[in-house]
Amino acid sequence: MSKSFGERIAELRDAKDLSMRELAAQVKISAAFVSEIENGMRYPSEDVLPRLAAALGTTVEDLKRYDHRPPTKEIQELVDLDPRFGFAFRKMVNSVRDLGLSPSDLEKLVPGTKPKKKE
């Protein structure tokens, strides 16, 4: 399994030889928040994420690759817009399970997306 978002943050912080307090000061957040991020208890907001990426010498896109949370909010917004999405998502989940599809297989079914490279 790939590393978590928090593990990636800790890895990058260690590579730059920064303490949690030093990183927090650069990003303008608390050291406690950095600790909670690294321990997987919290995630930075869309406002904090670019500052975190810059302080760690990486990109927002790189960090987002390690955010394995399901897109629950986005899915709910679509279902609220049109309840037929709920049926479509359930059908997709069942197909993924029944057919043993990989994430790459699923991405190939969506026009305009490219499967991500494995690390």
In sequence order, the 6+-apart residues with CB closer than 8 A to the CB of 88 are: none
So what's the pLDDT on residue 119?
45
d(CA 108, CA 41) in angstroms, rounded, equals 32
Parts of the chain with a pLDDT under 50: 119
So what's the pLDDT on residue 104?
85
Mean residue pLDDT across the chain: 91
CATH no., domain 5-64:
1.10.260.40
pTM: 0.67
Summarised one tens digit per residue, pLDDT across range 64-89 is 999 988 888 889 999 999 999 999 99
Domain ranges of the chain: 5-64, 72-108
So what's the pLDDT on residue 103?
83
Nearest-5° angle of CA 2, CA 5, CA 20?
A: 130
CB 87 within 8 A of CB 94: no
Q: Taking Cα atoms as reference points, which of 59, 15, 12 lies closest to residue 34?
A: 12
